[in-house]
Amino acid sequence: MSLPATKTLNPCLGPAGIDRNRVLDMHCHVAGIGAGGSGAFISERLRRSWKYQVYLRAFGVSEKALRQDGDGLVVARIAQRLAASSQVGEAVVLALDGVVGADGELDPRRTETYIPNDFLAREAARHPNLHFGASVNPKRRDALARLERVKADGALLVKWLPAIQLIDPADVALTSFYRKLVELDLPLLTHAGHERSFTAAANHLGDPCRLHLPLRLGVRVIVAHAATSGRNQGQDNLRRLLPLFAAHPNLYADISSLTQANKLRFLPRVLKAGIDPARLLYGTDFPLIGTGLTSPLFSALRLPPRQTLALLGVANPWDQDVRLKLAHGVPPEIFTNARQLLLPCARTL
C-alpha cells in the first residue's frame, strides 16, 4: 500500500511558517577596542565596569583575541553565529558615534563607546548576511556631509542613543539634519526610555515626546525597545510613546530587548496597545540576547514548563529569541516587517 503524497517541506521555514530569508534583525550592536586600526574605542570607565567582560563573552571574543586579530573579529563572529541560525537570515550591525563638543568634533573624554562608520561599513561589506547601520551625531560640524557619505556606503539607517550621545531630538537646530535624512531616505533608529547599558546617561533626552519634531518633518523614526523603560514627567515612557502612533504614520518601534528579565511586563502591553503590527519591527539588541538577560527561565511563570524546557535547549541566540517571542504571542508577520521597510527591493539570500 503506497503512502499518500506529502508536500516537500521548505527548509527555510521556521516556527509559524516564517521564512528565515525574510527575517532581518535590525538592531544588532558591535564593539571594538581600536585593534587593527579600527578607530573604535571603549572608555576606561566602561572597561573597569563588570559589564565589559560580560559584553566580550556575549560577542564570543576576548580582549587578547581582538588585539591579535583586530576588531573586525567581532563582526565576523556575529556573521558566523547568525549564519548558523535557522530563524534569522540577516542583521543590521550598528555603528555608534560619540559625544560631540561645542567645536563640532568628537569629545573622547565624554564618550564611553565609539564605533566609526567607515570601519563598520567596510567590515559589514565582507559578510553577505550583514548590513551597515550608521551613526552620526547631528552636532558634528560636517554632519550633513557624513550623512551623504554613509548613504553612499550603503547605510540602511542612522542610529542614535540620545542619552549617551547628549542629543536632544527636540532641538530645532537639528532641522536641517532631519531634512537631510528625509532627502536621503534614511530612517532614524533612536533609543527612547532609560539607558542602562552604560555607566551614566542623561535619560531625560530619552523622552519619546521629544520626537515630535523629526516626525513632523517626515523622518521615518524607529523607537528602539518601544520606549519600555523609565519615566519622564511622572509618566512611564511607553505610555508617553503610544499617542504618537496615531499622530504620526511615519513612526515605528522595534521589539528588541522585550524578553529581558526587566522588560517582560512590557511585551504584552506593547502587543495589546492597538499599534498596527506593520509598525512593529523585529530586533534583538544583540549581544544582550547572549548575556542571559533574555533566558527563557525568566518566562517560566508565563509559559508551560515543557515549552520553557524546549526553549532552554535552543543554543543559537537568534533562534531562541524568535521562538521565545513567538511563545509570548508576537504575531509572525512582525518578524518580516524590518526587511520590508529597510530592504524593500532586495532579493532574499
CA distance 168 to 166: 7
Per residue in 335-344, pLDDT tens?
A: 999 999 999 8
Report the phi/psi class of residue 190: left, alpha or beta, with left for phi > 0 and alpha for psi in -120 to 50.
Answer: beta
Total domain count, the chain: 1
Q: What is the mean pLDDT of residues 135-146?
A: 98
For position 11, what pLDDT does the model report? Answer: 54
179 inside domain: yes
Strand order in the sheet with 251-254: 158-160, 188-191, 221-224, 251-254, 280-281
Its domain, for residue 131, covers 19-342
- 110 touches 103 (CB < 8 A): no
Q: How far apart are the first and last CA of the chain?
A: 40
For position 200, what pLDDT does the model report? Answer: 73
Strand order in the sheet with 24-29: 24-29, 90-94, 130-133
75 inside domain: yes
CA angle 283-215-149, nearest 5°? Answer: 70
Name which of 184, 188, 210, 181 is nearest 254 in CA terms: 188
When pLDDT is cut at 50, 70 and 90, the band that residue 15 belongs to is: confident
Q: What is the mean pLDDT of residues 99-108?
A: 96
CA distance 298 to 20: 26
Per residue in 26-68, pLDDT tens?
A: 999 999 999 999 999 999 988 988 888 988 999 999 999 999 9
Inter-CA distances, 205 with 167, 236, 314, Å: 7, 14, 37
Per residue in 244-271, pLDDT tens?
A: 999 999 999 999 999 999 899 999 999 9
12 inside domain: no
When pLDDT is cut at 50, 70 and 90, the band that residue 7 belongs to is: very low
Q: What is the mean pLDDT of residues 66-88?
A: 97
135 inside domain: yes
Per residue in 255-312, pLDDT tens?
A: 999 999 989 999 999 999 999 999 999 999 999 999 999 999 999 999 999 999 999 9
Per residue in 158-187, pLDDT tens?
A: 999 999 999 999 999 999 999 999 999 999
How many CB atoms are closer than 10 A to CB 2? 4
36 inside domain: yes
For position 193, what pLDDT does the model report? Answer: 86
**What CATH number did the domain enclosing 43 receive?**
3.20.20.140
For position 84, what pLDDT does the model report? Answer: 97
**Is pLDDT at 111 greater than 70 in this prediction?**
yes
14 inside domain: no
Q: What is the mean pLDDT of residues 21-30?
A: 97
When pLDDT is cut at 50, 70 and 90, the band that residue 9 belongs to is: very low
Per residue in 192-242, pLDDT tens?
A: 988 877 767 888 999 999 999 999 999 999 999 999 988 999 999 999 999
Helices 117-124 and 143-152: crossing angle, nearest 10°?
10
